[in-house]
Amino acid sequence: EKVTPRLLSFASRSNSNTNTNKVGDVVLFSPPAPLRDIVESNTSGGGRTRRLSDRDLFVKRVAAGPGDLVSVNQAGQVLVNQQPSPGKRDLCDEEPLRLIERYVKPTPNGGPGLQILPNQVFVMGDCSSVSVDSRVWGPLDQSNIVGRPLFRIFPLNRIGGSLSLPTLNDFSE
């Protein structure tokens, strides 16, 4: 009998009919078609293509919400409403080879960017230099969000239950 390692997830389920996901929230979601295509076309090994199942979930942090205007400057920095995206976005211990740079498309001619629709969010990975996220495949429909992780178990030096970055409201007087 083959034993496959599994990650036991601790998550709160989300009602996809409500837009309760805020900037800074970490969300679990089923991959939209463009992300599914990227994963499946880049995971062929030994002549076999990996197909994602309905149980495969991804985790990212909400960087922009409905109504926000998102653009990417020539340096690859994400701007939300013409301001740098809140929160530290590259939480890797060491700077990797910036593998994602060739896939991120800057906003043409410094234009206004993309307005996030009422049923969408813009998500980014915390290790931004290698994260295949909304910068590559576009906004995420909130109907794809299935919940929020409640507890982090990896990496071990960041184990814990707090998965939210502080917001500007946390610092207001």
Residue 75 inside a domain? The answer is yes
Is the model more confident about 45 or about 58? 58
- Coil, helix or strand for 135? helix
Identify which of 111, 31, 101 has the alpha carbon closest to the alpha carbon of residue 79: 111
Contact 71, 56 (CB under 8 A): no
Average pLDDT rounded to a whole number, residues 51-77:
86
Q: How many domains does the chain have?
A: 1
CATH number at residue 31: 2.10.109.10
In whole angstroms, give the CA distance from residue 52 to residue 107: 30
In whole angstroms, give the CA distance from residue 12 to residue 46: 37
Phi first, then psi: give them for residue 171, nearest 5 degrees. Answer: -110, 0
Residue 64 has pLDDT above 90, yes or no: yes
pLDDT for res 2: 38
In whole angstroms, give the CA distance from residue 60 to residue 25: 8
Residue 43: which domain range?
A: 11-166
pTM of the model: 0.73
User: Using one digit for the tens of pLDDT, what is the confidence trace for 108-146?
Assistant: 776 778 999 999 999 998 877 778 899 889 999 999 999
pLDDT for res 27: 92
pLDDT for res 87: 62
Residue 113 inside a domain? The answer is yes
Residue 172 inside a domain? The answer is no
Quick one: pLDDT band at residue 173, thresholds 50, 70, 90?
A: very low
